[in-house]
Amino acid sequence: MHGANSSSLTPRYFILNGIPELEALHTWISLPFCFMYIITVLGNCGLIYLISHEESLHRPMYYFLALLSLTDVSVCTSFVPNMLCIFWFNLKEIDFNACLVQMFFIHMLTGMESGVLMLMALDRYVAICYPLRYSTILTNMVITKVGFATFSRSVLLMIPFTFLIRRLPYCKGNLIHHTYCDHMSVAKVSCGNIKINAIYGLIAAILIGGFDMFCIFMSYTMIIRAVVNLPSSDARHKAFSTCTSHICAIVITYVPAFFNFFTHRFGGHTIPHHVHIFIANLYLLSPPTLNPIVYGVKTKQIREGVIKLFLERNILRMS
């Protein structure tokens, strides 16, 4: 087999073929992806810097937002530079172990992203339903513990993916029709039985995505009940307005995720493969690109923090 060790059926490297059937358009396709990546890095790093330097943003809601921004930058950085190398320089080879590392980080970080959105929903629940106890419930220690628990859950559930891929024989070749190393895309290159891979992938999706969505649903059910019982329409509007940015982030993240999930499992014969690849890339790139824009536009405290930061910089330059 091309690129395989002579002593085993494990390839030395895989070949990431980019977007099949559209190889001639790779350079043009790369431009919007590159633009989205630049916005992602600048927007999310800007949010992290603003939250760390602006004292008025040193609150649980913004700590979780900073964690979401860090996760978003990390997940994009785990695959976009390599994807651009495929599009621009035709550098399609990726070492077998490097492919496993990329696969682990992509899935671990997307699981982390879902977990942080769930924590942000719980934060809104505590802020609206228990406003007088908000600061005593969500202390810095509690935020650190739940953040670490979310990270540990993603790591522990994604580690088996690497062993499930490593155990498979690869006698059909080493060509992956994708822009990055996705668990099932790599497994499908194998000539072995990948049923356990598919089953465990579904279990991991349920344990992370299913659990997080259940917690988000329950949080907002109780938030709506609490908001409806408020005495005035102004109070109801003010309470619910604090959730709009988070609701937008949920929609931005879970709608592409669901679309990607269902098209891969039920649209295999009706949706062209290059459309699958587009959807998979947008699923990873869209939320990190749009989240800082949404929070910047819809969150008054962040807008005020940005204005204050620019004014302070201008005053320092003038002095």
- 62-95 confidence digits (pLDDT tens): 999 999 999 999 999 999 999 999 999 999 999 9
Structure token digits, residue 125: 């629940």
> Per the domain annotation, does 260 fall within a domain?
yes
pTM of the model: 0.93
> Per the domain annotation, does 4 fall within a domain?
no
> Per the domain annotation, does 3 fall within a domain?
no
> Per the domain annotation, does 42 fall within a domain?
yes
pLDDT classification of 269: cutoffs 50, 70, 90: low
Give the domain range for residue 60. 13-318
pLDDT of residue 3: 52
Q: What is the pLDDT of residues 28-45, one digit of tens each?
A: 999 999 999 999 999 999
Helix, strand, coil percent content, the chain, rounded in steps of 5: 75, 5, 20
How many other CB atoms are there within 10 angstroms of residue 193's CB atom? 11
Q: Which amino acid is located at 123 in the chain?
A: D
Q: Is 60 exposed, middle or buried (CB count within 10 Å of its CB: 0-12, 13-18, 19+)?
A: buried
- 190-194, 246-250, 256-260 — which is least confidently predicted? 256-260
CB 151 within 8 A of CB 112: yes
Q: What is the pLDDT of residues 90-107, one digit of tens each?
A: 999 999 999 999 999 999
> Per the domain annotation, does 95 fall within a domain?
yes
> Per the domain annotation, does 2 fall within a domain?
no
Name the residue with tokens 């992509």: 106
Q: What are phi and psi of 14, to 5 degrees?
A: -110, 160
Name the strands in the sheet holding 13-16, side by side, starting at the edge strand that comes first in the sequence: 93-95, 13-16, 175-176
> Per the domain annotation, does 6 fall within a domain?
no
Average pLDDT over residues 114-135: 96
> Per the domain annotation, does 1 fall within a domain?
no
The structural domain count of the chain equals: 1
Q: What is the CATH number of the domain that holds 90?
A: 1.20.1070.10
CB 249 within 8 A of CB 292: no
> Under DSSP, is residue 17 helix (H, G, I), strand (E, B) or coil?
coil
